Amino acid sequence: MLDDDHPMTAETIPAAARPSGIKGPRRPLFRRRSAIPGFGLTLGVTLTVLSLIVLIPLSAVAIKASSLSPSQFLAAAFSERAVAAYRLTFGAAFVAAVINGVFGVLTTWALVRYEFPGKAVVNALVDLPFALPTAVAGISLATLYAPNGWVGQYLTPLGIKAAYNPVGVTIALIFIGLPFVVRTLEPVMRDLSADVEEAAASLGAGRFATIGRIILPALGPAWLTGFALAFARGVGEYGSVIFIAGNMPYKSEIAPLLIIIQLEQFEYANAAAIALVMLAVSFLMLLVINAIQAWSRRFV
Amino acid sequence: MAAPSRAHARHPTDDPLWAKVVVIGLVLAFLGLVLILPLAAVFAEALRKGLGPAIAAVSTPDAWAAIKLTLITAGIAVPFNAVFGLCAAWAIAKHDFPGKPLLITLIDLPFSVSPVVAGLIYVLVFGLQGWFGERLIDHDIKIIFAIPGIVLATIFVTFPFIARELIPLMQEQGVSEEEAAVSMGASGLYTFWRVTAPNVRWGLLYGVLLCNARAMGEFGAVSVVSGHIRGLTNTMPLHVEILYNEYDFVSAFAVAALLCLLAIVTLVLKSALEIAQPDVKRGGGH
Amino acid sequence: MTISIRSVEKKFGRYPALNHVDLEIADGELVALLGPSGSGKTTLLRTIAGLEFPDAGQVLFEGEDVTFASAAARRVGFVFQQYALFKHMTVARNIAFGLDVRKGKDKPPKAEIARRVDELLKLVELDGLGKRYPSQLSGGQRQRVALSRALAVQPSVLLLDEPFGALDATVRKSLRKELRRVHDATGVTTIFVTHDQEEALGLADRVAILNAGRIEQIGTPDEVHDNPATPFVCGFVGEANRFEGTVSGGRFTSGAVSFAANGARDGAAVGFVRPHDFALDDGGFEVRVDRVHVQGALASASAVTADGRHIEISGSRAEAARFTGTIKVAARKSHVYPT
């Protein structure tokens, strides 16, 4: 309620009564909480470059694929050969990610918790797949796992045909995916506080119960993220795979190779259709990874 | 309660010795098979006929042209992405605006796109049947099956590397130092050079290192846009492929060994940087 | 349960964390380990818990040697400064953990565990919060959860490492009362570590004062405050003015300061006088009052002796009205230790 002798403050003056030249404060579109200059310029450059290099060219895939009729699109993107390629690509990427998931946890555990000679070298070597050109890995793995190769010669008598086979694809994807799992787990494992393990032990939990009920669940979100990153990278991988895969249609031909084959036959729209399917999977993986990280923040 | 002896007393966060031996053994065996063996095989195959043929293989004119093209490509792509990364990190880490998480996700996008698709998109834009195909021919400009296409594809696949390194680093450092500088009357550019740059130089170097390794080693994307013209549009990884497919294994592995040395130097520098400047590892760009 | 620590020694590298420590704790006692940081108090607590193992000496529970028994086998309840709750489990699952991990016939039935969890939540006044995650609780609530989690296994001894150190002052006060209440309700032998003397003296039955890996004194709060056994205890517990000087003929003298030192032998010595043990006295020594600081019913004054040393004196507010200009004070009580 307004007191009669309450002095009128600036806020109580009706807008119409204000002198016309003075405007009330206007809320800017972008709230400038920062006093640091250069925002317009750097954001402008960022958005322009991002659009020109990434977004507009990527949209070309969708636009090119849309030049096909729906039935043409289905025929190109989900032909028997394409479906066989997806099955191999996603299947091999999944198996490789699972294997990396298991050995990634062990590797990270050894690097974070144990001391052993050569640990620094092992730690540096984990990043080799990031630093080594994929084609180099490809020809080397193909040579190793060929029937007369260093490793292949021992597998052949066992009836295992590694190179030029889906097994070979999986081997290449294990190489490519390992660091994703290790480097995602590492900071989380390092930050696990000793307190929590000591608490579990003082409550009567044995070492295995502590690992199974406390440590592994705490690593869960990071593990899933690493797994998803390794899987996503494996799905798109080309260089390290084509040399060892054998590239037999329906059998050991991966989806990225199929895109190249369509391109070489100047079937640009067909290539775009397959690429669109792969992009859709990539976006899905991105969403999944973001969802995992949002979910894991719930507990922190 | 029985009274265990000192030998059995183990800190609760410590694993029993047998478990350590088993885990370390498994890890070394796995890494030996997956990482060390392929690395060793490259050098063994390159030197199969001795050092002479290996050196000869990397000194042919075609090999030199490939090395030169690889250096040119990285020499353009890496500085380009460094400037972009600094711009993006400055806008994102030092200012607030709506849609920031989306922008970060979009910058990360090239990580999750297959390199082959990365090559394909430039073919679709600049290729013969592409959006600008005819206009480019009219003006006699070649992008696809030429060096500009190779550079563009390389920029795409290495796009997030440096930005991903700098954004979390700059976010962690906050804005107080910059605000102090600005409040004392420093210009934006002066603040950047004198205050921000010294704080992020090691992170930048770390990103450049990873970006460069990928730029020099990129295969899939470059393969799509290169056209594989020997001596003209072959980078080192493409040259390796051609030699390998021609069954010239010693030469293929000799060039591959050169790329391995690059990878090893990258890993050594990276480890040294992580030991000397532990902060750089926070970014976690791949 | 009685706990005996016998000649325990522990070194971290070359740094001795525990140096020949002996301590006897009676069944149902509430004992505080008090000392500055680095005094070894936390190491001693962790040695009792089985989270550290001594280099020499013995830890006995009820006369039985548990020196090298694992933490899991000791059935101690341990509460950490940073709570150490399991983040991915609800409050109820956190509290139930110690019962859940038991195997075979030791493991209580589900309904029994649920009943115990409810009971404990009530005990620490958190009923209804069982389904929350630790991230949804305040610091004080988290520490209550940690306390009830430790109590769930019906530990033979409850150990707390700076349990209130991460909390703000008001929460700390209420949790202190809570701990006393829980201790009295359960009767469990309880040992807690603190560097806060107010906490130790206000809460514990007995206080052990540690310094540089040794126990300097153990006694009731009154004993350690009124009859400090060593110069360290005298300086650490309560406020005290410290003087270096000599004793001669039952009198301690340090420059212009002098007071009775009954029973102390002649020679070099260090003397302590608590601020409230100074009283206005015409037979005393002269000081010049600098500044008077009133706090409710009490007042303290900073003063300077004739030879320029700063001392603190305190008294009731009425008394303090006379703390002006140059006054004469004498020590009613002092603590003098030969050096």
Structure tokens at B75: 């020499």
Subunits with 3+ Cβ pairs within 8 Å of C are A, B
Name which of B3, B5, B12 is nearest C71 (Cβ-Cβ).
Answer: B12
Could you give the number of structural domains in chain A? 1
Would you call A61 and B124 a contact, using CB atoms and an 8 Å cutoff? yes
- Rounded Cα gap, residues C133 and C129, in angstroms: 9
- Please report whether residue A21 resides in a domain: no
Q: Are C73 and A201 in contact (CB under 8 A)?
A: no
What secondary structure letter does DSSP report for C108?
P
A191 touches chain B (CB under 8 A): no
For the cut 50, the answer to whether the pLDDT of residue B97 exceeds it is yes
The parent domain of residue A200 ranges over 70-299
Which residues on B lie below 8 Å from A116 (Cβ)?
Answer: 24
CA distances from A24 to A9, A30, A34 (A): 14, 18, 22
Q: Counting every residue, how long is chain B?
A: 286
Q: Angle CA(B213)–CA(B217)–CA(B219) in degrees, nearest 5?
A: 150
A84 occurs within a structural domain: yes
- Average pLDDT of the segment spanning C263-273: 89
CB contact under 8 A, B270 and A124: yes
C192: buried, middle or exposed (CB in 10 Å: 19+, 13-18, 0-12)? Answer: buried
10-residue stretch averages of pLDDT, chain A, 300 residues long: 42 44 50 72 94 94 92 93 95 96 96 93 94 95 93 89 90 96 93 90 90 92 92 94 91 93 91 94 87 79
Q: Write down the pLDDT at residue C167.
A: 85
- Quick: pLDDT tens for C315-337: 888 888 888 889 999 998 999 99
Q: Helix, strand or coil for residue B227?
A: coil
Quote the pLDDT of residue A33: 55
- Contact B117/A61, CB-based, under 8 Å? yes
Question: pLDDT for B191-219, tens place per residue?
Answer: 888 888 898 999 999 999 999 999 999 99
Q: Is residue A81 part of a domain?
A: yes
Q: What is the pLDDT confidence band of residue C1, given thresholds at 50, 70 and 90?
A: confident
Minimum-distance CB partner of C82 among A195, A206, A214 = A195
Per-residue pLDDT tens digits for A73-102: 999 999 999 999 999 999 999 999 999 999
pLDDT digits (tens, 9 = 90+) for A183-212: 999 999 998 888 999 999 999 898 889 999
pLDDT tier at B124, thresholds 50, 70, 90: very high
Strands (E) located in C75-227:
76-79, 157-161, 189-194, 206-211, 214-219
- CATH number where A212 lies: 1.10.3720.10
How much is the pLDDT for C260?
A: 87
Q: Are residues C2 and C27 in contact, defined by beta-carbon separation less than 8 angstroms?
A: yes
For helices B61-94 and A39-49, the axis angle rounded to 10 degrees is 140
**CB contact, 8 Å: B14 with chain C?**
no
For residue C306, give the amino acid letter: A
- In this model, does residue C132 exceed pLDDT 50? yes
Q: Find the residue in B nearest to A275 (Cα).
A: B117
In a domain, A59, yes or no: no
Phi, psi of C294 (to 5 degrees): -95, 130
Does a structural domain hold residue A263?
Answer: yes
Q: What is the pLDDT of residues C4-20, one digit of tens each?
A: 999 999 998 888 899 99
What is the per-residue pLDDT across C151-209, written as a single tens digit (0 to 9) for each? 998 898 999 999 988 888 888 888 888 899 889 988 999 999 999 888 999 899 999 99
Asked whether residue A15 is assigned to any structural domain, the reply reads no
Distance of residue C108 Cα from the nearest chain A Cα, in angstroms = 14
Question: How does pLDDT run across C21-45, given as a tens digit for each residue?
Answer: 999 999 999 999 999 988 999 999 9
How far is residue C333's CA from residue C52's CA, in Å, rounded to a whole number? Answer: 42
**In three state form, how does the secondary structure of chain A look?**
CCCCCCCCCHHHCCHHHCCCCCCCCCCCCCCCCCCCCCHHHHHHHHHHHHHHHHHHHHHHHHHHHCCCCHHHHHHHHCCHHHHHHHHHHHHHHHHHHHHHHHHHHHHHHHHHHCCCCCHHHHHHHCCHHHHCCHHHHHHHHHHHHCCCCCCHHHHHHHCCCCCCCHHHHHHHHHHHHHHHHHHHHHHHHHHCCHHHHHHHHHCCCCHHHHHHHHHHHHHHHHHHHHHHHHHHHHHHCCHHHHHHHCCCCCCCCCHHHHHHHHHHCCCHHHHHHHHHHHHHHHHHHHHHHHHHHHHHHHHC
| Residue A114 is assigned to a structural domain of this protein | yes
pLDDT tens for each residue of C201-250: 989 999 999 999 999 999 999 999 989 999 999 989 888 999 999 998 88
Residue B179 pLDDT: 87
Residue B286 has pLDDT above 80, yes or no: no
Neighbours of chain B (3+ CB pairs under 8 A): A, C
Whether the model clears a pTM of 0.95, i.e. scores above it, the answer is no
Instruction: Read off the tokens for A171.
Output: 């081997």
Question: A229 to chain B: which residues are within 8 Å by CB?
Answer: 286
Q: Regarding beta strands C15-25 and C3-12, do their DSSP bridges make them parallel or antiparallel, or are they unpaired? A: antiparallel
Tokens of C59: 């830890």
- Averaged confidence pLDDT in chain A: 87
Residue A285 inside a domain? The answer is yes
Show which of residues 236-295 on chain C sit within 8 Å of chain B, judged by CB atoms. Answer: none
**C-beta atoms of A193 and C74 within 8 A:** no
Write out the two tokens for C113.
């565990």
- Chains B and C form CB pairs within 8 A to the count of 34
